[in-house]
């Protein structure tokens, strides 16, 4: 789908972008890892689909469709046994692959299965892959792909608009001048990393009157890096700072049934060893949080009242159009059923 700069873009003309009935296949955060102890099972509604997430006594998190195929009891009412999940209602038990391995009232296992979904744990969160088979790992900043990361969970928030609208804010070059009062000239260069990921890179100059730029000015001589990496249209990683000390902020977003955004901020840095490394991590992640809070403050007002309809794009919106074009080519799933949508 080739979207022109002029005459773009109402919600009805897109496959995925800003739609409440569809979303891109990919990794979506479900809940903090610490909220799911070994032997616990929790109900989670993710992108319209009801799931039961449980952690076996082997420590591995499993995600299954919520309702027992016998009479529809919610499996989050059940209990964990080893790496299996037993339904509370009639004690049918399902293994990690979703296969019924015991049905006491019947006297033997019943040849039925519940649907299972791939999970991962990273950055202190449990992630679920919405789709058949994960194509890529959990989102990360490209330059951290080969590194072990330390992370903090930052703010959890709700925005009164679609996750895609929240995502494009970070590549809306002009709003840095108008909303954040940063006298910067920003021109983004896109690079497609894979089917689900695209980066927008810029080396910003100027901004010496900004409090944020003044804060980090002692750490660099020339330009400040400002890069974005988007995964699945709903996870965005900001890389900001001088060459020797980059700050990384991951915004993990998911669509709610009201067409709004529920998000989790994750602060990242390269893992460092020893006591000095631990102290450095605390300082760097605290600075990262301060930078993230600065930018979020002004944008929150916009997200609470906006009724997004991109009818009059300009040349300055080129990066937003490129984001939409990339998102539109990704595999799409339908809200609640998670069934594929044809291009």
pLDDT, residue 31, reads 97
- Alpha-carbon span 1 to 302, nearest angstrom: 29
Domains detected in the chain: 35-130 (2.102.10.10), 142-334 (3.90.380.10)
Closest by CA to 243, choosing from 216, 211, 283, 266, is: 216
Per-residue pLDDT of 223-280, as tens digits, reads: 668 899 999 999 999 998 777 788 899 999 999 998 999 999 999 998 888 988 889 8
4: pLDDT strictly greater than 60: no
Per-residue pLDDT of 32-82, as tens digits, reads: 999 999 999 999 999 999 999 999 999 999 999 999 999 999 999 999 999
Triad 340, 142, 272: Cα angle to 5° = 130
Q: Which two tokens stand for residue 59?
A: 């420590």
- Alpha-carbon span 303 to 253, nearest angstrom: 14
Query: What is the 3-state secondary structure of the chain?
Result: CCCCCCCCCCHHHCCCCCCCCEEECEEEEEEEHHHCCCCCEEEEEECCEEEEEEECCCCCEEEEECECCCCCCEHHHCEEECCEEECCCCCCEECCCCEEEECCCCCCCCCCECCEECEEEECCEEEEEECCCCCCCCCCCHHHCCCCEEEEEEEEEEECCCHHHHHHHHHCCCHHHHCCCCCECCCCEEEEEECCEEEEEEEECECCCCHHHHHHHHHCCCCEEEEEEEECCCEEEEEEECCCCCEEEEEEEEECCCCCEEEEEEEEEECCCHHHHHHHHHHHHHHHHHHHHHHHHHHHHHHHHCCCCCCCCCHHHHHHHHHHHHHHCCCEEECCCCCEECC
2: pLDDT strictly greater than 70: no
**Which of the pair, 302 or 282, is modelled with greater confidence?**
282
Least confident segment among 209-218, 267-276, 300-309: 209-218
pLDDT, residue 109, reads 85
pLDDT, residue 209, reads 58
pLDDT, residue 6, reads 46
Per-residue pLDDT of 118-155, as tens digits, reads: 999 999 999 999 999 999 999 999 888 877 888 999 99
1: pLDDT strictly greater than 50: no
The tokens 């009062």 sit on which residue?
181
Q: Which two tokens stand for residue 232?
A: 């699945």
Average pLDDT, the chain: 87
Q: Which two tokens stand for residue 154?
A: 């930052």
Percentage with pLDDT > 70 across the chain = 85
Least confident segment among 102-111, 217-226, 235-244: 217-226
Least confident segment among 20-24, 168-172, 197-201, 224-228: 224-228
pLDDT, residue 223, reads 60
pLDDT, residue 179, reads 67
pLDDT, residue 258, reads 86
pLDDT, residue 120, reads 98
The tokens 């965005």 sit on which residue?
236
- Alpha-carbon span 130 to 113, nearest angstrom: 18
Least confident segment among 198-212, 232-246, 323-337: 198-212
pTM of structure: 0.89
207: pLDDT strictly greater than 60: no
pLDDT, residue 7, reads 44
pLDDT, residue 220, reads 52
- Alpha-carbon span 20 to 23, nearest angstrom: 8
Confidence of residue 17 (pLDDT cuts 50, 70, 90): very high
pLDDT, residue 221, reads 52
- Alpha-carbon span 281 to 206, nearest angstrom: 28
Q: Taking the chain, what is the end-to-end CA distance rounded to the nearest angstrom?
A: 9
- Alpha-carbon span 245 to 228, nearest angstrom: 16
pLDDT, residue 290, reads 84
186: pLDDT strictly greater than 80: no
pLDDT, residue 203, reads 58
């Amino acid at each position: 789908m080739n979207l022109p700069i002029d005459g773009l873009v109402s919600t009805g003309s897109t496959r995925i972008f800003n739609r409440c009935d569809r979303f891109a296949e990919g990794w979506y955060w479900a809940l903090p890892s610490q909220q799911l102890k070994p032997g616990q099972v929790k109900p989670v509604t993710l992108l319209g689909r009801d799931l039961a997430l449980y952690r076996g006594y082997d420590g591995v998190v499993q995600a299954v469709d919520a309702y027992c195929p016998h009479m529809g009891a919610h499996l989050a009412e059940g209990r964990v046994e080893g790496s299996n999940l037993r339904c509370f209602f009639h004690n049918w038990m399902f293994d990690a692959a979703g296969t019924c391995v015991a049905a006491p009232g019947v006297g033997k296992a019943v040849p039925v299965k519940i649907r299972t979904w791939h999970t991962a744990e990273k950055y202190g969160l449990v992630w679920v892959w919405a789709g058949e088979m994960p194509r890529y790992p959990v989102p990360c900043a490209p330059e951290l792909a080969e590194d072990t990361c330390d992370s903090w969970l930052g703010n959890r928030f709700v925005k009164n608009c679609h996750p895609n609208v929240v995502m494009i804010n970070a590549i809306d070059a002009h709003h840095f001048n108008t909303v954040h009062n940063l006298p910067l000239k920003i021109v983004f260069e896109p690079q497609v990393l894979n089917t689900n990921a695209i980066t927008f890179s810029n080396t910003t100059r100027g901004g010496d009157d900004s409090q944020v730029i003044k804060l980090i000015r002692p750490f660099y001589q020339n330009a400040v890096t400002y890069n974005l990496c988007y995964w699945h249209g709903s996870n965005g990683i900001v890389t900001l700072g001088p060459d020797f000390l980059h700050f990384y902020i991951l915004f993990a977003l998911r669509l709610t049934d009201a067409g709004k955004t529920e998000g989790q901020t994750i602060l990242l840095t390269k893992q460092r060893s020893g006591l000095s490394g631990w102290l450095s991590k605390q300082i760097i992640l605290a600075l990262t949080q301060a930078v993230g809070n600065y930018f979020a403050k002004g944008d929150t007002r916009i997200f609470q009242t906006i009724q997004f309809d991109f009818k009059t794009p300009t040349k300055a919106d080129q990066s937003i159009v490129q984001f939409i074009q990339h998102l539109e080519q990704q595999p799409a799933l339908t809200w609640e059923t998670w069934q594929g949508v044809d291009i």
